């Protein structure tokens, strides 16, 4: 079932004057963070007068499951003070990470590969849906601030799983629960099983998106890649 | 869009788009990144990162409350779904190929074909399949349009088609289009993977096989790619393990079975495909395959003091097949689709066999009583049979197909092609056999017969033309596929040519798909079709002048086939299909060997006929939920007649009344799959043994001295009622697969057990009693065909 209610309008043409970049040196750094599984963050390190600053430029989201994987590379922004201890780094937030446009995307589903424009489109849509799911989860005060595994939210997102799987068919979604619990823009996605597939096929991406705004609290550390 | 508010976050400055939806923002030169927000009532606010200040930036807004939710396909594409037609063909899904083909000692796509309706059970080691009562030679296999003349390993036990390079399989036992010919029972179309979707590679290591395949893009746009790989199978290690187990557990039959292997069975295959898709309207591809296989069996009893007359044999078989083909597919105009293919194949087959009998045996009391004037108390014997045969075939083929769209729903298809095959046959030998002489004495003798196949180099030119009309009427309510095909063959040898009359094959199939449902039966389709099919006998490439066939006497075997069918869809994603058929098979080729003196004379005939009728059904559950799979049942009634060989109706040797298959994939979790494949088949015709009688035969001992041997013989007679035992193989495969953490590498470990029920069946089913000792006349219990023990395979695979 496809979700085709959106309508795009091209609205703005922006012209910018050229400018000079002011980085004192180009020094790319890619690092991972434990609470953002499967994710790689890339930025440019600027050695300031007092402290080093990393300007985040890109984020790679990745997650696999038993029969495939999802990978997307996105433009990103964010700014952190950085201290390096061998392969470990300490980050202090200046501006939080934000994810922007997709650069590339690929999905493997069993033996089928979605690449190039098709892959990019599917990954973008998947990430958009997962971000919407995260925004819904964040409004639920009963859920923890930080997620360790995606299964922690199954009882809220998919209570039907407690009833067990039908022998011959996929899960039967409770449409009443959908309407009572979720906003309207999610209804068809949940009742078609799309959200379930997004979450079970990209669990690490869900965890990453959920933890993205809070991972840096209390000088969280990461590892250089 | 006019009036969109743009806010630059850092400075807080606000701007608004003009009538054309444009606005210019100014930044200080030292700014290298900026974040802006675009807002308009009724639309979701959109944040945008700006890093390039020299380009025009377009921002797209989404209506408020709408989430882009194009769903990822949850099931693999129904490969070839649009090609499957009731009454004509069945397309095997990728899931079925994976589960049915990748089980057993050799991964072979034919394992998935064998479970389809219409296919008569051919055993775990039988790639030669009888389809709807026709001879197995009536099946033709095509790989990406290239006709493969001998696509088998180990004399037909397995095919060359590796599931790791196969995208889809279309099996057509019905009224398939006149575009394809030289097939009387069915057409097997194998489509290989298109290597133009990026980098992939995989490897498999199992008990006896190592496989590796890789697909590599050759340009950055994935328009040009290459797929290559190999399969190495060698049973040396597995045989040694089995023998060790047999020796350790004192299972003599097990040790003896593998102890007779002198050259462990092996298969070495190499694959190559390259494809170039510069645009939607043009495709070029190149396919290549090179395969080798062989086996050696040896049994040396000579010198075995426990045996009076000991046998020794040494048999060696080698097979090699190479082919390369290339083709283009293009749309010169919007309405015309053109396909061109050409290719070359080289096949060589060599057999070398030696059999020896040696020993001394005392005469039995009954024999001495029957022949009181025997010169001694016993006899010595030494016989040697030796046989070699080398067959070499080369062939080139080419074809051109054009599809022209007369309207949106009517297509005119026409084309033609030709193949030129070169055959070389050499060989000679002798074999010892018991012969029955003619009148007046009808003397039974044991003699050596010289055998020398006609050694010749021959050429066969086969050509065809066809025209076909494919139309969908009344918005796909009725589909009609009708056409006519002409085939001609010219056989050439030294000072010798044979023509066939042009063989005309009209065919028509009509499918009616009313958009009506009957309760739970939805999307019903009905079909009816009839047509003529023909195929040159395989042996025709070895014809020679001394066989006495005159010009235009040679005929291709023909089948007048009629099929009706019905297909419907059931709840729980199940599809049901049932088809009934009748065939009249005629101009069947057969030969009769007449031995006189020490030579064998071969006489050829093209007047055999046959009737085949029956029905088959299939219930197919698509991949979803915990369980999916396929169930099929085939009933076949087939009777043949050879006027110059017995001249009485009989069930052919490959005939089985019933074949049933059940394939189930059970997935308790996403990572864990249990696949079970169960087949049931009633037996093939079995001859009725006559009385065992003794006779005295003149033989020679090792020194060349004449001896009188005590020997026994028994005639066997065709029986309409006797059948071999039923077959009930059950195969189970348990596999666990997953990905390494944060990795694109998938791994799978599996354990497969083939023919689990074989020990039970061997112990309870009656054994054949047709074998007896020609030296003592004692009945020897013969085991049923196939191994009497399960075959275990363990494997590990990885893919990227």
Whether A121 and B738 lie within 8 Å, measured CB to CB: no
B98 lies in some domain = yes
Give the angle subtended at the CA of B775 by the CAs of B596 and B360, to the nearest 5°.
110
Q: Which residues contact B392 (CB under 8 A, 6 or more apart)?
A: B346, B347, B348, B349, B423, B424, B425
Q: Please indicate whether, in this complex, the C-beta atoms of A12 and B26 are within 8 angstroms of each other.
A: no
Judge: A19–B28 Cβ closer than 8 Å, yes or no: yes
Residues with Cβ within 8 Å of residue B564, at least 6 apart in sequence: B87, B526, B527, B528, B529, B579, B580, B581
Chain A 78-97, residues with CB within 8 Å of chain B CB atoms: none
Structural domain includes residue B113:
yes
pLDDT of residue B370: 87
pLDDT band at A8 (very low <50, low <70, confident <90, very high): very low
Give the per-residue pLDDT at B63. 65
Give residue B350's pLDDT: 93
How far does the CA of residue A201 sit from the closest CA of chain B (Å)? 10
Q: What is the mean pLDDT of residues A105-123?
A: 90
Preceding amide of B106 cis, omega within 30: no
| pLDDT at residue number A24 | 34
Query: Does A109 lie at the interface with B, CB-CB under 8 angstroms?
Result: yes
Query: Is residue B185 located within the same domain as residue B99?
Result: yes
The verdict on a CB contact (< 8 Å) between A98 and B35 is yes
Residue B14 lies in a domain: yes
Helix (H) or strand (E) holding A154: helix A154-157
The residue segments making up the domain with residue B64 are: 1-70
- Percent of all residues in chain A with a pLDDT value above 70, rounded to a whole number: 83
| Element housing A124 (H / E) | helix A116-138
Task: Based on the fold, state whether residues B66 and B106 are members of the same structural domain.
Answer: no
Supply B217's token pair.
């893009």
Cα–Cα distance between B122 and B119 in angstroms, integer? 8
Contact list in A for residue B25 (CB cut-off 8 A) is 14-16
Distance (Å) from the alpha carbon of B734 to chain A's nearest alpha carbon: 15
The pLDDT score that the predictor gives to residue B300 is: 64
Q: Is A57 on the interface with B (CB under 8 A)?
A: yes
Report which of A49, A50, A102, A97 is spatially closest to residue A77, judged by C-alpha positions: A97
Q: Quick one: pLDDT at residue B625?
A: 63
- Which among A13, A21, A188 has CB closest to B21? A13
Nearest CA in chain A to B71: A2
> How many whole angstroms separate alpha carbon A113 and alpha carbon B217?
14
pLDDT higher at A200 or B36: A200
**Predicted pLDDT at B282:** 93
Say what the pLDDT of residue B704 is: 83
DSSP code for B723: B
DSSP line for B650-672: B--TT--SEEEEEEEEE-SSSSE
Do B66 and B88 belong together in one domain?
A: no
Same domain for B92 and B64? no
- Count of positions (residues) in chain A: 225
Same domain (yes/no): B111, B184: yes
Between chains, do A3 and B69 touch, taking CB under 8 Å as contact? yes
Residue of chain A whose Cα is closest to the Cα of B741: A64
Domain count for chain B:
2
Query: Given a cut of 80, is residue A163 above it in pLDDT?
Result: no
**Of the residues B192, B223, B249, which one is the last residue of a structural domain?**
B192
Residue B371 tokens read as: 């022949």
Residues B104 and B47 in one domain: no
What contacts A136, CB < 8 A, 6 or more positions away? A182, A183, A186
- Closest listed residue to residue B533, CA positions, set B584, B590, B481, B589: B584
Which residues 164-203 of A have a C-beta within 8 angstroms of B?
A: 165-170, 183-186, 188-189, 192-194, 197-198, 200-201
Instruction: Please name the residues between 120 and 139 in chain A that touch chain B, using a CB distance below 8 Å.
Output: 121-122, 124-126, 128-129, 132
Position with higher pLDDT, A165 vs B389: B389
- What's the pLDDT at B306? 60
Pair B188, B89 in one domain: yes
- Shared domain check, B103 and B41: no
Span A77-95, average pLDDT: 87
The answer as to whether B769 is a domain residue is no
Q: Hey, what are B640's tokens?
A: 């043949």
Residue B265 forms part of a structural domain? no
Bridge partners, B292 (sequence order): B268, B320
Q: Please state, in angstroms and rounded to a whole number, the distance separating the CA atoms of residues A211 and A103.
A: 22
Query: B698: exposed, middle or buried (C-beta count within 10 Å: 0-12, 13-18, 19+)?
Result: exposed
CATH number assigned to the domain comprising residue B23: 2.60.40
Pairing of strands B410-436, B336-362: unpaired
Does the predicted interface ipTM exceed a cut of 0.90? Answer: no
> Which structure tokens are listed for A178?
């959908």
Mutating which of A12, A109, A191 best tests the B interface, going by the most B Cβ atoms within 10 A? A12
Q: Select from A3, A5, A9, A11 the residue whose CB has the most chain B CBs within 10 Å, as the one to mutate to test that interface.
A: A11
Of B158, B192, B226, which residue sits at a domain end? B192
**Smallest CA–CA separation between A122 and chain B, in Å?**
7
Q: How many CA atoms lie within 13 A of B469 on its CB side?
A: 11
**How far is it, in rounded angstroms, from Cα B673 to Cα B670?**
8
Task: Considering only residues B61 and A104, tell me which one the structure prediction assigns the higher pLDDT.
Answer: A104
Are residue B64 and residue B135 in the same domain, yes or no?
A: no
Between CA A111 and CA B767 the distance in angstroms is 46
Which candidate from A14, A19, A200 shows the least CB-CB separation from B57? A14
Q: Are residue B7 and residue B62 in the same domain, yes or no?
A: yes
* 8 Å CB contact of B49 and A76: yes
- Structural domain contains residue B127: yes
Domain boundary among B192, B208, B238: B192
Q: Cα dihedral sign for B8, B12, B13, B17? A: positive
Q: Residue B418 falls within a domain, yes or no?
A: no
**B53 → closest Cβ in A16, A124, A192:** A16
Helix (H) or strand (E) holding B630: strand B627-641
Q: Which chain B residue lies closest to A126 (C-alpha atoms)? A: B69
| Euclidean distance between CA atoms B258 and B679, whole angstroms | 26
What CATH number is given to the structural domain containing B127? 2.170.130.10
What are the residues facing B289 on neighbouring strands? Answer: B271, B323
d(CA B291, CA B269): 4
DSSP B163-228: GGGEEEEEEE-S---TTS-S-SSEEEEEEEPP--S--EEEEEEESSEEEEEEEEESSTTSSEEEEE
Distance CA B126, CA B122 (A): 5
State the 10-residue block means of pLDDT for chain B, 800 residues long: 81 80 79 80 75 77 58 34 72 80 83 93 82 94 92 89 91 94 94 89 89 92 92 85 80 69 88 93 95 86 66 88 96 92 95 89 90 88 88 94 92 96 87 75 76 73 96 88 96 85 95 88 93 89 75 91 95 91 96 69 89 96 79 97 93 96 91 93 91 86 86 88 91 94 93 88 73 81 60 88
Statement to judge: residues B50 and B94 lie in one domain: no
Closest residue of chain B to A169, computed from CA coordinates: B625
Residue B132 sits in the same domain as residue B40: no
Give the number of A-B residue pairs with CB atoms closer than 8 Å.
213
């Amino acid at each position: 079932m496809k979700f085709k209610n959106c309508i795009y309008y091209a609205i703005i043409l922006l012209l910018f004057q050229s400018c000079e970049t002011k980085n004192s040196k180009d020094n790319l750094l890619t690092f991972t963070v434990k609470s953002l599984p499967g994710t790689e963050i890339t930025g440019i390190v600027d050695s300031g007068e007092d402290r080093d600053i990393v300007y985040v430029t890109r984020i790679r989201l990745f997650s696999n499951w038993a029969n495939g994987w999802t990978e997307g590379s996105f433009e990103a922004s964010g700014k952190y003070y950085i201290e390096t201890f061998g392969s470990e780094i300490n980050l202090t937030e200046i501006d939080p990470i934000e994810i922007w446009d997709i650069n590339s995307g690929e999905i493997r589903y069993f033996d089928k590969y979605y690449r190039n424009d098709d892959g990019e489109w599917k990954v973008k849509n998947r990430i958009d849906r997962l971000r919407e799911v995260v925004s819904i989860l964040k409004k639920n005060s009963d859920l923890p601030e930080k997620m360790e595994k995606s299964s922690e939210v199954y009882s809220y997102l998919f209570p039907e799983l407690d009833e067990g799987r039908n022998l011959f068919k996929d899960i039967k979604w409770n449409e009443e629960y959908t309407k009572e619990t979720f906003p309207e823009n999610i209804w068809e996605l949940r009742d078609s099983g799309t959200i379930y597939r997004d979450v079970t096929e990209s669990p690490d991406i869900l965890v990453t998106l959920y933890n993205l705004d809070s991972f840096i609290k209390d000088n969280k550390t990461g590892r250089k890649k | 869009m006019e009036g969109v508010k743009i806010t630059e976050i850092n400075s807080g400055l606000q701007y608004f788009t003009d009538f054309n939806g444009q606005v210019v923002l100014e930044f200080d030169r030292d700014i290298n990144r900026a974040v802006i927000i675009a807002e308009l009532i009724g639309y979701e606010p959109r944040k945008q990162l700006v890093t390039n200040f020299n380009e025009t930036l377009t921002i797209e807004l989404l209506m408020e409350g709408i989430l882009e939710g194009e769903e990822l396909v949850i099931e693999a594409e129904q490969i070839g779904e649009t090609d499957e037609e009731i009454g004509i063909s069945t397309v095997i899904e990728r899931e079925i190929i994976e589960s049915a083909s990748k089980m057993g000692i050799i991964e072979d796509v034919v394992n998935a074909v064998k479970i389809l309706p219409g296919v008569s059970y051919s055993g775990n080691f039988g790639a030669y399949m009888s389809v709807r009562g026709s001879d197995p030679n009536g099946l033709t296999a095509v790989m990406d349009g290239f006709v493969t003349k001998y696509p088998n390993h180990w004399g037909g036990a397995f095919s060359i088609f590796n599931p790791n390079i196969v995208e889809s399989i279309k099996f057509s036992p019905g009224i398939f289009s006149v575009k394809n010919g030289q097939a009387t029972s069915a057409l097997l179309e194998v489509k290989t993977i298109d290597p133009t979707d990026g980098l992939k590679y995989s490897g498999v290591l199992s008990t006896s096989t190592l496989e590796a395949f890789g697909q590599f893009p050759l340009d950055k746009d994935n328009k040009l790619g290459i797929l290559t790989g190999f399969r190495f199978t060698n049973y040396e290690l597995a045989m040694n393990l089995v023998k060790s187990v047999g020796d350790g557990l004192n299972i003599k039959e097990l040790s003896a079975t593998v102890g007779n292997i002198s050259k462990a069975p092996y298969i070495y295959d190499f694959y190559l495909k390259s494809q170039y898709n510069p645009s939607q309207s043009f495709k070029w591809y190149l396919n290549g395959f090179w395969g080798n296989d062989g086996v050696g069996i040896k049994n040396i009893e000579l010198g075995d003091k426990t045996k009076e007359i000991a046998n020794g044999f040494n048999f060696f078989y080698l097979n090699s097949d190479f082919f390369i083909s290339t083709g283009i597919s293009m749309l010169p105009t919007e309405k015309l689709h053109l396909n061109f293919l050409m290719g070359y194949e080289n096949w060589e087959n060599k057999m070398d066999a030696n059999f020896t009998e040696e020993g001394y045996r005392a005469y039995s009391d009954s024999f001495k009583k029957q022949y009181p004037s025997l010169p001694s108390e016993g006899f010595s014997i030494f016989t040697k049979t030796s046989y070699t045969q080398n067959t070499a075939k080369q062939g080139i083929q080419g074809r051109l197909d054009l599809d022209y769209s007369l309207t949106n729903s009517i297509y005119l298809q026409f084309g033609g092609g030709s193949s030129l095959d070169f055959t070389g046959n050499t060989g000679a030998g002798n074999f010892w056999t018991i012969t029955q002489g003619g009148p007046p004495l009808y003397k039974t003798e044991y003699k050596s017969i010289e055998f020398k196949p006609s050694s010749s180099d021959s050429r066969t030119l086969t050509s065809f033309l066809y025209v076909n009309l494919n139309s969908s009427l009344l918005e796909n309510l009725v589909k009609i596929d009708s056409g006519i095909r002409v085939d001609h063959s010219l056989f050439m040898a030294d000072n010798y040519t044979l023509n066939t009359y042009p063989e005309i094959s009209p065919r028509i199939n009509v499918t009616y798909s009313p958009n009506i449902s009957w309760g739970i039966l939805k999307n019903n389709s009905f079909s009816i079709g009839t047509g003529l099919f023909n195929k040159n006998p395989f042996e025709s490439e070895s014809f020679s002048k001394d066989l006495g066939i005159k010009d235009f006497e040679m005929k291709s075997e023909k089948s007048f086939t009629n099929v009706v069918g019905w297909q419907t869809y059931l709840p729980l994603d199940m599809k049901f299909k049932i088809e009934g058929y009748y065939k009249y098979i005629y101009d069947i080729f057969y030969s009769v060997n007449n031995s006189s003196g020490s030579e064998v004379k071969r006489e050829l005939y093209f007047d055999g006929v046959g009737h085949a009728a029956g029905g088959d059904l299939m219930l197919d559950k698509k991949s979803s939920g915990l369980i999916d799979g396929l169930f099929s049942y085939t009933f076949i009634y087939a009777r043949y007649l050879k006027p110059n060989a017995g001249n009485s109706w009989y069930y052919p040797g490959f005939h089985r009344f019933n074949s049933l298959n059940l394939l189930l994939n059970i997935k308790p979790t996403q990572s864990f799959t249990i696949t079970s494949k169960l087949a049931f088949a009633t037996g093939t015709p079995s001859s009725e043994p006559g009385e065992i009688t003794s006779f005295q035969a003149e033989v020679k001992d090792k020194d060349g001295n004449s001896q009188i041997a005590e020997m026994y013989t028994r005639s066997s007679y065709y029986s309409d009622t006797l059948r071999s035992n039923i077959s009930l193989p059950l195969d189970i495969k348990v596999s666990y697969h997953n990905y390494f953490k944060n990795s694109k590498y998938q791994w799978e470990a599996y354990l497969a057990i083939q023919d689990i029920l074989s020990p039970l069946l061997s112990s309870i089913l009656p054994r054949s009693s047709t074998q007896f000792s020609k030296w003592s006349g004692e009945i020897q219990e013969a085991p049923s065909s196939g191994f009497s023990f399960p075959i275990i395979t363990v494997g590990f695979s990885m893919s990227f």
